[in-house]
Structure 1
Amino acid sequence: MDRLLRQAAGLGGAALGKLQHTRIPGVGQASTTEPADVAARRWRAVTVFRDDLAGPFPELEALGPDLEVRMQPAAGGRGTELYGRFHGTPDADRIGELRAALRRTKQLAEVGEVLRVDPATHGTRRPTPQGAALEGAAARAPREGVL
């Protein structure tokens, strides 16, 4: 049963990764249509609903000195755009860490804390293959930005 649950969790995470880059007719295109090495070097961004945003940003600083960070006013007076990218060509794990750190920084600036989905307020999920798949998707979501 444990092996089945681990496989279901892995499949849930893999399905999330596949769905993130799937083109849905009438909705738009996948988030990455460029070659992987080009996509790895582009800026990742969040819009923070604060005009007075200023560092330091511990969540981003924890990623190391090869991270470049910049800010600019958001369009229409809707706060500040916070950008980050790595020098060189980072791997998918580092990009996921950057995306998660940008979201945590946004939450800290806007709310004062990082909001958590788990543990679920109603208790733990049942140890079923479907529950394990959901756990796998939820574990991967902070890096991918979707659930």
Structure 2
Amino acid sequence: MPLPKIVTRAAGLAGGAGGKALEQLQHLRLPGFGQSSVTDDPRTAARRWRAVTVLTDPEQLHTAIPAPLAAFGDRLDVRVTPAPGDRGAELAARFRGPVTQDEIGDLRAALRESKALVEVGEVLRVDPQPHGRRKPTPQGAALEGMTEAAPKEGVL
């Protein structure tokens, strides 16, 4: 077998092995370390604090909870503490009772929207596109789907 094929094959095997190792590490949890795992049971995930760092004086958040979080009413525990390194305030929230995965996504989106409202004064949106609609291509459809899911998942 020629050397370029051997190198290509070895790179493919190494990439596959690395992917499997990362998949296993994703499910490894050490108590008190890291972020919540996607494999946590729903009751544990619902009780977990979700937080954002907001570039503002913590006292400003103590006086008025931002509207996206206030919309949840008394279903949330909200905590405001000074952010580490004197970087503003840490705004954290968690549900008081049982919730669904969709509601957890709504909370994550509300925290990010609250951060934007306090820091910028508005929530910036990707849609609608200033130049019109995206072309109905497979890539355009994939981007539309990711843009729709991003507010709840926190990634694009």
Structure-2 residue corresponding to 1:53: 60
Structure-2 residue corresponding to 1:130: 139
Deviation at 1:123, TM superposition (A): 2.3
Q: 8 Å contact 2:83–2:90 — kept in the other structure? A: yes
Give the distance between the partners of 1:78 and 1:24, measured in 2 at CA.
35
Deviations, residues 36-90 of structure 1 (Å, cap 9, x unaligned)? 2212210000000112432132111112321111100000100000001101221
Is the aligned partner of 1:71 residue 2:80? yes
CA RMSD of superposed structures (Å): 2.1
- Return the structure number with greater relative CO, CA threshold 8 A, min gap 6: 1
TM-score (norm 1): 0.75
Structure-1 residue corresponding to 2:104: 95
Once the two structures are aligned, what percentage of the paired residues are identical?
Answer: 55
Q: 8 Å contact 1:23–1:29 — kept in the other structure? A: no
Deviation at 1:134, TM superposition (A): 1.2
Q: 1:114 aligns with which of 118, 123, 133?
A: 123
| Bigger radius of gyration among the two | 2
Deviations, residues 113-133 of structure 1 (Å, cap 9, x unaligned)? 111111122321001222112
Q: Select the structure that is richer in helix.
A: 2
Is the aligned partner of 1:36 residue 2:45? no
Structure-1 residue corresponding to 2:153: 144
Give the distance between the partners of 1:142 and 1:100, measured in 2 at CA.
5
Q: 8 Å contact 1:41–1:90 — kept in the other structure? A: no
Structure-1 residue corresponding to 2:7: none
Structure-1 residue corresponding to 2:13: none
TM-score (norm 2): 0.71
Q: Pick closer, same or farther for the CA change 1:106–1:23 going to 2, 3 Å.
A: farther
Count of residues paired in the alignment: 124
